[in-house]
Structures are given as structure tokens and as C-alpha cells.
Amino acid sequence: MLWPPDSPWAPWWRTNKKVARAICRLAKVGKGDVVYDLGCGDGTALITAVKEFNATGVGIEIDPVRFFIAKNRVSFNKLNSEIKIFNKNFFDVDISKASVIVVYLVPKALGRLLPKFKKELKKGTKIVSYRYEINLPLKKHDKENEIRMYVI
């Protein structure tokens, strides 16, 4: 069952490691990349980007329980200097330092984020969305893993 598309937020469906790796490969994440995960949940995508692809990461999670889980997973993996997790609303966070944005959000939330993306992100910033489309020109699509990449 998919989350209702008119819901303002995404459910907590964990992004598994296989999909996190596919996201990083699709966006060609590597050393020097700053990956922002908007609604980072338990931090899996960020931990994968840092441990396996040598990026740095910033996670934004509004839910205090998910934030706590992500912070603890980052600490457990000894990645506190490479990943910063913030308990905030991503609409209130400056995302301009991102080279890659990762989102697993429903269409309504993605639509609300579009003006923020256009205003704050630098030209060339990659946005990778799991499951749901964004109203931007599609650059790459991994159908098997249900991920799409867009470039500002």
C-alpha cells in the first residue's frame, strides 16, 4: 500500500541499504559531496553515503523519535564528524550547501518543496527522490529501485 498522495508528509518507511546504495550510484555520490536527506528517518541513506561513498551528510528530521534513532545510529557508526542530524522542519533549514538532496516524501510535500529547491539550491545540485516524482525535468530513472534523479 502506498501512502495517500494528498498527505502533507511521508510515512516512516525505512529506506533500505540496497536502495540507499542505488541512490548514491545514480547520483554518482563521492568524496566532496554533501548529501542532505530531508526527512532522514533512521539515517540509513546518510550512513551509506558516508561509509560507502565517502561523502559527508546532513539529516533533517522533524520527528523526535526518528531524530533520536538517527543520532544514535550515527554515533554507533562513529560518524559524528561526517554526519550532522538536526531535529528541525526541513522548510526552516538552509539547504544551499547540498550537492545532493535525498527525499522520500509524498507528492504534496515534494510540491511544497519545489520553490525552496529552486530558490536555495545551486545549479548542478542533484535531487534524488525515492518512489515519488518531482515536477522537474527527469535526468535519470532507476525503475527497478523506484528512484528518480533531477538536476537543478
Q: What is the pLDDT of residues 17-33, one digit of tens each?
A: 999 999 999 999 999 99
Rounded to whole angstroms, what are the CA distances from 85 to 26, 78, 95? 23, 13, 13
Give mean pLDDT, residues 126-148. 96
Q: What kind and span of H or E run contains 57?
A: strand 56-60
Go through the domains of the chain in sequence order and give each one's CATH number. Answer: 17-151 (3.40.50.150)
**Model pLDDT, residue 14:** 75
Could you report the per-residue pLDDT of 74-85, keeping only the tens digit for each?
Answer: 999 999 999 999
Total-model pTM: 0.92
**Model pLDDT, residue 12:** 63
Q: Which residue type, as a one-letter code, is found at position 2? A: L
CA torsion 47→116→64→86, rounded to 10°? 50
